[in-house]
Chains A and B, each alone.
Chain A
Amino acid sequence: MKIIVCLKQITDPEISTSDFRIDPEKLEVVRGNAELVTNIFCENALETALQLRERSGGSITVLSFGGESAEDTLRKALAMKADEAMLVINDGPPHPDPLTVAQVLARAIRKIGNYDLIMVGRESGDWGTGQTGGLLAEELNLPCINFVDQIEKRGTGLLVKRQTGEGWEKFNAHPPLVLTITNSELNVPRIPKKRDLLAAARQFVTRWSFDDLGVNAEKINHGESYYELVELKTAEHIPTCDFVSGKTLDEKVEEFARRIVEVTRAL
């Protein structure tokens, strides 16, 4: 089983709201002193792939499309014991539209070739479009299952379990296919060992440019002809919390209960 896991490097979405700034001209988030991290769902995808390989064998190729710094994301993945790493350097705009991302990744995946499973995170913590998996499936003409958290090999096929809004569903599926991975208690990403991080720093990362993949950079720059970000603003809210008062805990809880009932009675 050959697995390709796509990884996205993003500005740490856990940055506190008070440190969160937007550049209204560039329509970009100001990175400030926020870390660059691997998107958590991408790490859940890698963890799911690593566990599948541990049980059923195979190989894992990690693939990222991004700036130079995305190499760090790939090296961390190598330290987590991915077998090989590919970086597609983004020569275009910093935040390409979802279709462009899928088209570039699809080119790289075809170049890698012979894949059985393509795994991506369900969405990213920055733009969170939740489209990469589905669009990749269409670009590669493959079936797709979203929100997967467990995969088991069953004969020549796979038993795939995914989360739904109401519970879960199990699928019979036959590779090749695309899976988008969500988090569960079973796929918490492992922490790479220091020794493995050091070793990964010396491992080879294949680098591809748009030219290497036959991607038309000019076409990518025209992504905004169909998908244009026209405004980016911080979310607003007006703080108005009344903290219940009272001399004793009993008085405070009494007041709190009264406020709750006030709302529920109105229904």
Chain B
Amino acid sequence: MSDVVICLFAAAGYDRAAQGVAGAGRRLADALGVRLRAITVGAHSELNLRIAAAADTVISVDQSELIEYQPELYLDALTQLTRDYVPRVLLLSNDTYSQELAPRLAHRLGGTAVGDAIELSAQAGTIRVKRNVYGGKAVATIDIKRSPAVVWLRARAFEPVAGGSYTLATVRQITLSLPASPATQIIERKSEATGETKLEDARIIVSGGRGLGGPKPFAELREIAALIGGQIAASSAPCDAGWCSPSLQVGQTGKKVAPDLYLAVAIRGTSQHLVGISDSKVIAAINIDPDAPIFKYCRFGIVEDYRQVFPLLKEKLAALQS
């Protein structure tokens, strides 16, 4: 009763986001003096093993219908698995699937959902969540007073579980009875990840904005990223214009990244973009406009036209790296 429950989907493995969810769950359970229960959906033995070191109990459902995500089936499964435990708090990551399921799961459990949490704490009788609002211009603090609090976390903003002092929990496999023909069915899936690290987990990101002016400069952006072992990304404008894949979008409605270096090229820095990069350790920018808001968030910057900078930068990075 009244445990903290974390829900993880096996497809992503024990990535930085899963580690953040586990860390947030562990600390909250300890603060509340309750147990941490983990639910994993889909098959991933390493995830179960790793999560067993952080949680007090692990329930794994890996039956064939749940190997690949289907919204109605996953929702049904999570409802069945949490309905009887009456969790106090249910934590998910901020991936597509978690965001899709969290409000509906909260509704089915008679609880309250809050999303994109950047901070989480237990106050007297309530769960307190901080989240960005108004495209990152403001931070709201919300108290959830009805259990379960179903919170999807900006998972990479949360530290993983500290140390290894927890005993290994046993993993209990459960098989559920699920509807045979859900009302929606995913029939085709394409992942544009090209074997690279997920953007959310990337340590170096070189990102392009509206100022690039078209799809061609993305090739050069990629060259620069390759020189420093990074990946490319974009603000919303190039994605909306079709200059690059929407899966590269970073910001309020794109990915929330947390690299060690975020190099913003020809990105002005709207608050909607900044909210997606605010967990970066170092932000640097190339922009022709010294008043571009991005510079207010930068550790260092250069006020020049990227067209002039790129050829020299490639040359110098190559020289410095050799």
Contacts and interface: CB of A to CB of B under 8 A. Distances in A.
Interface string A251-267: 01110111111011011
26 contacts: A13-B271, A20-B134, A99-B107, A99-B112, A131-B115, A134-B104, A138-B107, A144-B100, A145-B71, A146-B96, A147-B100, A165-B96, A171-B184, A171-B185, A172-B185, A185-B241, A185-B242, A226-B144, A235-B271, A243-B302, A249-B312, A252-B304, A256-B309, A257-B317, A260-B263, A263-B284
A14 B200 CA distance: 25
Interface in A224-267: 225-235, 237, 239-244, 249-250, 252-254, 256-261, 263-264, 266-267
Given A164-B96, A256-B302, A267 B253 contact: no
Contacts of B71: 143-146
Nearest to B246: A163
Main secondary structure of the interface of A (DSSP, over half): mixed
B137 A227 contact: no
A239 to B, nearest CB: 5
A226 B263 CA distance: 41
B293 A17 contact: yes
A53 interface: no
B298 interface: yes
Contact of B190 (A146, A168, A171): A168
A37 B312 CA distance: 43
A90 interface: no
B186 interface: yes
B312 A253 contact: yes
B320 A232 contact: no
B184 A242 contact: no
Contacts of B145: 225-228
Contacts of A122: 253
Interface residues of B, number: 95
A66 interface: no
A230 B143 contact: yes
Contacts of A231: 140-141
B134 A227 contact: no
A128 interface: yes
A183 interface: yes
Interface in B190-205: 190-193, 198, 200, 203-204
A38 interface: no
A34 to B, nearest CB: 11
Interface residues of A, number: 83
A39 to B, nearest CB: 11
B80 interface: no
Given A130-B116, A244-B300, A263-B260, A229 B317 contact: no
A170 B188 contact: yes
Interface string B129-142: 00011111111111
Nearest to B100: A146
A128 B247 contact: no
A254 B141 CA distance: 44
B272 interface: yes
A142 B230 CA distance: 42
B189 A169 contact: yes
- Among A142, A177, A244, the one with the most B-chain Cβ atoms within 10 Å of its Cβ is A244
A243 B294 CA distance: 12
A17 B295 CA distance: 14
A227 B142 CA distance: 7
A98 B103 contact: yes
A217 to B, nearest CB: 20
Contacts of B203: 267
A125 B134 contact: yes
A22 B141 CA distance: 14
B107 A135 contact: yes
Contact of B138 (A29, A144, A160, A263): A29
Interface in A7-37: 13-14, 17, 20, 22, 29
A174 interface: yes
B213 interface: no
A238 to B, nearest CB: 9
Given A228-B143, A253-B313, A267-B260, A128 B116 contact: yes
B154 interface: no
Given A177-B183, A241-B295, A169 B188 contact: yes
B183 A174 contact: yes
A147 B188 CA distance: 16
A113 interface: no
Contacts of B230: 264
A17 B188 CA distance: 41
Interface string A169-209: 11111100100001111001000000000000000000000
B249 to A, nearest CB: 9
B304 A249 contact: yes
B103 A14 contact: no
B301 interface: yes
A17 B282 CA distance: 21
Contacts of B260: 263-264, 266-267
A125 B133 CA distance: 8
Nearest to B321: A261
Nearest to A259: B300
A259 B44 CA distance: 40
